[in-house]
Amino acid sequence: MFMGTVLGNVVASVKNKNLDGLKLMLVKQTDVSGNAIGKPLVAIDSVDAGEGDRVLLLKEGGSAKMILKRNKMPVNLVIAGVIDTVDLYGWNAPEK
């Protein structure tokens, strides 16, 4: 798992039928301070996250399919949780 921030929604009117009904979000991976790492990615939202939310991202196909309870789908990145706070040895990460 790694941390990220939701940048916005992704709308795809034509997509694999196994993705029908799933919410797609554009996310960026971040470090503990919220600084971007790498390029934005598309993730399936399993927790109803919103734009600007700090989230837990799971990048592994098998685990992502377990969370979504769908075995036959093309997925490798899922939003698995919304982060409330990060506390690292008494240091609180800045809020969003």
- pTM, two decimals, is 0.82
Helix (H, G, I), strand (E, B) or coil at 71: coil
Q: For residues 58 and 30, give the distance between their C-alpha atoms in angstroms, rounded to a whole number.
A: 13
Domain 2-92, CATH among 2.40.30.10, 1.10.10.1800, 2.40.40.20, 2.40.50.220: 2.40.50.220
What is the CB neighbour count within 10 angstroms for residue 56? 16
- DSSP conformation class of 11: -
The bridge status of strand 54-58 relative to strand 2-10 is antiparallel
Burial class from Cβ neighbours inside 10 Å (0-12, 13-18, 19+) for residue 68 reads middle
Helix (H, G, I), strand (E, B) or coil at 66: helix
Question: What are the residue ranges spanned by the domains of the chain?
Answer: 2-92
pLDDT in tens, 39-88: 999 999 989 999 999 999 988 766 666 666 666 666 788 999 999 988 77
